[in-house]
Structure 1
Amino acid sequence: MTAWSVGPLLDAAGVTSGTRVLDVGTGPGIVSREAMRRGADVIALDADPGMAATARANVPGLDVREAILPDLPLPDASFDAVVGNFAINHVSRPDEAVRQFARVLRPAGRLALTCWEMPPSGALSLVAEAIEEAGVAVPDDIPTPPFADLGRPAPFGALLRDAGFADGEASELRWLHEVDAEDWWTTGALARIGTNGVIVSRQDAPTVTRIKTAYDRLATRYATSGGRVALPANALLATGTR
C-alpha cells in the first residue's frame, strides 16, 4: 500500500539524476529502489537489522545502514534530499528527528515525509471497526500511536517549520489500495503487527470469529470483484526546504 506514495514523495524532494539522497526508515527498500532508478546516489537507513537485510537483498548495490531515529550518525550538510515514507510515524521523538534531517541537509536541500492521516479511515480503520463492532475493548496497555498528533496537515507542517524549514507544509494524499480481502485480514489482524494485530492476538477463538464476521460485513462496502476490495488510503505529505 505504501508503494503508491513513493513517486509523489521523491518528486516533492526533487530527486533526479545525481541527487544525493538519504532514505530514512527504508523498510524493504522501495523508495531507495525508485530513487536509484532515477539516477540518484542513495544511502538508506533502518532501525531493524532484518529489514535492512531485506532492503539490501531487494536493491542490489544499495548502501544500507542501521540507525535508530532520532540518532543520525551522518555528517552535517551531506545530502541534497532526505525522504521518509511512513517513517516519522514510528519515531518516538519526531521533533528531534526532523532537526537531525535538517542538520544533514545541504543549503537549499529538500525534506519530504509521509504520515498516515488521523483519525484512521478506510484501509487503516477496517480491522479496527470490526474489533469495535465485535464489542472488544482496546486494552489499557495499548499506547496511543506516537504519530496521532501529526496526522493532520497543520501539526505536520508545523513540525517542519519548528525545525527550521520556513516553508514547511503538509498536503493530503488520496488513493485506492486494491487487495484481496482475505489477505488484508491476514496481514491486518492475524499477523500480530500493529495495534489491531496485538488486540486480535489476545482474543480467544470465538471472539476472533466474531471479529472476522464483522470484518467480512464491513469489507463489502469496498468490494470490487473476485473477493477483492478497493480500500481508501488517506495520508499526508510534508515538505520543506533547508
Structure 2
Amino acid sequence: MTNAEAYDRGFAHLSCHTVGPLLARACPGRAPRLLDVGCGTGVVTAAALALGAEVTAVDADAAMLELAARRHPYATVRLAALPDLPFEDGRFDAIAGNFVINHVPDTRAALAELHRLLRPGGTLALTWWKGDEMTATNVFADAIAQAGIPYDPPVRPFSAHDTPSRFTALLTETGFGEPAVECVRWRHQVDLATWWTDVVAAGGARFGTIAGRPPEVVARVRAHYLRLAAPYGQDGFPVCAYLVTAHRPT
C-alpha cells in the first residue's frame, strides 16, 4: 500500500465528514466553477461533481493527484501548490479547501492567492482542525510520549492564525468580506487497528517518524496507542473542525 493509498483509507475517511457542510457553504446556488484546492485523493472533488459543478482540483502530491485523476476523469486535475496556482485572475466562482490551509507554508500569501482567483462575489470555504479536540490523531502523539520516544514535530506557520478570531482577522486583512466561522463536530468511527496501520503508513510530518523506528519501538508505541484508543473503540473518536466562509467583495 502506497502512502497515498494509506492516506485515502485513513485521513481522507476522517476528513470526508466536513465535505457536505463545506460544499453547502461554497456552492449555495447554481453549480459553480469550483476550485478544490489541496484536493488530496478527491473527496471534495467527487461530491462537487455530483452537485454538477465544473471542478478544477489541485494538489502538491503527485501520487494523491494520480488517484484523484483516475477516479474523477470529469475534473480538471493539476499539480500545483499554494501560494502559486497557475490560473488567471477571477477564474472561479467558488473555492473549497478541506484541511489544506493548516498545511501551507505562508497563510497570508495563500489567502491572497485564493482572493486573486475568486471572481468578485465568489465564495471561499475552508476547514481546519481544532487541535485540542482532535482525539483521533492526538492519541498517536500521546502514545509516542508515553513510550518515551523523543518527539518534536515541526511547528506549522498556521498555528499563529488557528483560532476563529485570528483567522477571520487575517481574511479581512487579505481582502475578504463577511468571514464567518462555525464548528463541525462528529465521532470518527473506525477499527482501531486499521486506524493505526493507515496513519502510520501515510507518514507525514507528525507521525512519519513512527514507521522508521526499530520494530521493538514501533511495537511499544502501538501498545500504548491501543490502550489509549480503547475507550473510543465503540463510539468513535470525538473530533472537531472549524469551517470558515468568506466572500470576495463585488
In the alignment, does 2:212 pair up with 1:218? no
Q: 1:197 aligns with which of 185, 195, 208?
A: 208
- Separation of aligned partners in 2, 1:150 and 1:95: 9
Shift of 1:116: 1.2
Shift of 1:182: 0.4
Q: 2:161 aligns with which of 150, 162, 186?
A: 150
Structure 2 stretches lacking a partner, 5+ long: 1-13
Shift of 1:185: 0.9
Q: RCO greater where, 1 or 2, for CA within 8 Å and sep 6 or more?
A: 2
Per-residue CA distance 1:176-196 (angstroms, 9 max, x = gap): 111110011112235433312
Corresponding residue number in structure 1 for 2:243: 237
- Separation of aligned partners in 2, 1:184 and 1:129: 15
Query: What is the total number of aligned residue pairs between the two structures?
Result: 235
Identity %: 40
Considering only aligned residues, what root-mean-square deviation do their CA atoms show, in Å?
1.7
Whether the 8 Å CA contact 1:74–1:104 is kept in 2: the answer is yes
Q: 1:52 aligns with which of 26, 42, 65?
A: 65
Structure 1 stretches lacking a partner, 5+ long: none
Corresponding residue number in structure 2 for 1:62: 75
- Which one-letter code corresponds to 1:215 in the other structure? Y
Corresponding residue number in structure 1 for 2:217: 207
Shift of 1:16: 4.6
- Separation of aligned partners in 2, 1:189 and 1:231: 17
Question: TM-score, normalised on structure 1?
Answer: 0.90
Question: TM-score, normalised on structure 2?
Answer: 0.87
Shift of 1:108: 1.0
Q: 1:73 aligns with which of 86, 98, 111?
A: 86
Distance 1:240 1:180, change over 3 A: same
Whether the 8 Å CA contact 1:114–1:238 is kept in 2: the answer is yes
- Separation of aligned partners in 1, 2:228 and 2:172: 39
- Which one-letter code corresponds to 1:207 in the other structure? V
